[in-house]
Copies of this chain bind each other. A is one copy, B any other.
Amino acid sequence: MTRRLRLGMVGGGQGAFIGAVHRIAARIDDRFELVAGALSSDPQRAQASADEAGIARSYASWQEMARAEAARDDGIDAVAIVTPNHLHAPIATAFLNAGIHVICDKPLAMTLEEGEALAKLAREKNRLFALTHTYSGYPMVRHARELVDAGEIGDVRVVQVEYAQDWLAKPVELTGENRQAVWRTDPKQAGRAGCLGDIGTHAYHLAAFATGMLPKQIVAELHTFVEGRQVDDHIEALLRYENGARGMLWASQVASGAENALRLRVYGTKAHIAFDQENPNELLFTPLGGAMRKLTRGRVDSAIARHATRVPPGHPEGYLEAFAQLYKDAALQIEAIDAGLPLPEESRLLTTVDDGVAGLRFIDAVFESHAKLQWQDVQNGG
């Protein structure tokens, strides 16, 4: 067996949702061993969290952890960053500088400048910088991309993507009970983009991932429905693509009745495909003038889907397996980078720092269009 990679974690202390998710995801395919952590900025809580998670080496700060792990022979190969958003950039910078691969929760950074600097640094240091856009780990999302790439839907004409939740429909951040609500609606910790940054970027990325296209112009609007909230809780946009395609994007955290309704449809000249995150084991494919087909892993012949699964057809997979897929691909890439080999072909769909930069550019364009009440170029490039 290939050696398990040594993983560290920053953030994700007791009660934090996403840290526990990363830990399970890293475990599922057995390619990582979690050996070090700075799970909280409160040293006592950090230690207690590490004990609970069975982590051998607990650090009082991520700065110390980066230094100490870099110095060890058996130091961590990679770090998972699962803190609030404002810490992503400084922490990632420190670990990249320490020569340690980075697996970072999204959004990448607070500003486009920060994000671009991270991308530059990762390239200079030749370290992996994986960004956990989880939904791209689903086998049927990857198969969607494969169908688009293979021309099975023809030329893309219309992109419809949306992400609706209802957990912020009321001012739950005011009571303080919901810790996530508190930091995610605090511009100092979450950034100026609220719903836009938290889930709008997921929707944006999913559309980009499936189609391989970024919009070149948008008209967008941010809105805050809940009085007193400091960030947007709803965002909507029209999209124009280079090839003439059109799109619409909607994200809302006040959509009463919606749990985690991320949905994508892509209409091409030959067919359309539809994916619903809450029902991720299927991908609907409907040809022009034809009957809808419910594609599942077991009913398509796709090496890409097979690479992203671990159970037989008809046995549903879920969010944790999609997340695990990112860790599996990250392991493949880390081994290749450390061995000086090209990235394995089957791992190429792993989302990267560049996906994060694209998301930050989208955020900027939304704010600008919103302010000017008009269409706005998206700076994709370069």
Interfacial residues, chain A to chain B (CB-CB below 8 A): 1, 4, 17, 20-21, 23-24, 27-30, 51-54, 153-154, 157-158, 160, 162, 164-166, 169-170, 219, 221, 223, 225, 234, 236-238, 240, 244, 246, 248, 250, 252, 254-261, 267-272, 277-281, 285-296, 298-300, 310-321, 373-375
Contacts and interface: CB of A to CB of B under 8 A. Distances in A.
Given A169-B289, A256-B288, 5 more contacts: A1-B51, A160-B250, A221-B240, A258-B286, A289-B299
Contacts of A252: 158, 267
A316 to B, nearest CB: 4
A313 B292 CA distance: 14
A292 B289 contact: no
Contacts of A292: 257, 293-294
Contacts of A221: 238, 240, 246
Contacts of A280: 316
Contacts of A17: 312
A236 B236 contact: no
A244 B225 contact: yes
Given A4-B54, A154-B256, A219-B238, A311 B320 contact: yes
A24 B164 CA distance: 32
Nearest to A239: B236
Contacts of A312: 17, 260
B259 A299 contact: yes
A221 B237 CA distance: 12
A164 to B, nearest CB: 8
A281 B278 contact: yes
B278 A256 contact: no
B1 A52 contact: yes
A223 B247 CA distance: 11
A276 to B, nearest CB: 10
A241 to B, nearest CB: 11
Given A157-B254, A246-B223, A269-B169, A259 B24 contact: no
B1 A256 contact: no
Given A318-B318, A320-B28, A257 B272 contact: yes
Contacts of A318: 281, 311, 315-318, 320-321
A81 B272 CA distance: 36
A260 B158 contact: no
A254 B268 CA distance: 9
Nearest to A319: B315
Nearest to A261: B314
Contacts of A258: 267, 272, 286
A316 B23 CA distance: 17
Given A52-B1, A310-B20, A373-B374, A257 B244 contact: no
Contact of A24 (B28, B169, B373): B28
